[in-house]
Amino acid sequence: MPKRSIPRTMPSAAQEVSISLGERSYTIAIGSGLLADPLSYGGLPKASAALIVSNTTVAPLYAQGLRAALAPHYAQVHEVLLPDGEEHKTWQTLQTIFDALLEHGCDRKTVLFALGGGVVGDMTGFAAASYMRGVPFVQVPTTLLSQVDSSVGGKTGINHPLGKNMVGAFYQPQRVVCDLDVLRTLPAREFSAGLAEVIKYGPIADMQFFEWLEQNMDALVAQQPGALAHAVRRSCEIKAAVVGQDERESGLRAILNFGHTFGHAIEAGMGYGAWLHGEGVGAGMVMAAELSCRLKLVDAAFVARLTALIRRAGLPTQGPVLDRADNAGRYLQLMRVDKKSEAGEIRFVLIDGPGQAVVRSAPDAEVRAVIDACCGRD
Any idea which residues carry the catalytic annotation? 133, 155, 197, 239, 249, 253, 257, 260, 264, 277
Residues 6 or more apart in contact with residue 302 via CB below 8 angstroms? 289, 293, 351, 354
| CB-based contact 263:283 (threshold 8 Å) | yes
| CB-based contact 292:352 (threshold 8 Å) | yes
Q: Does residue 117 sit in helix, strand or coil?
A: coil
| CB-based contact 280:266 (threshold 8 Å) | yes
Q: How far apart are the C-alpha atoms of 212 and 124, rounded to whole Å?
A: 34
Q: Which residue type sits at 191?
A: F
Q: Does residue 2 sit in helix, strand or coil?
A: coil
| CB-based contact 268:319 (threshold 8 Å) | no
Give the chain's radius of gyration (CA, Å). 20
| CB-based contact 173:151 (threshold 8 Å) | yes
Q: What's the burial of 22, exposed, middle or buried (CB within 10 Å: 0-12/13-18/19+)?
A: exposed
The pairing of beta strand 111-116 with beta strand 137-141: parallel
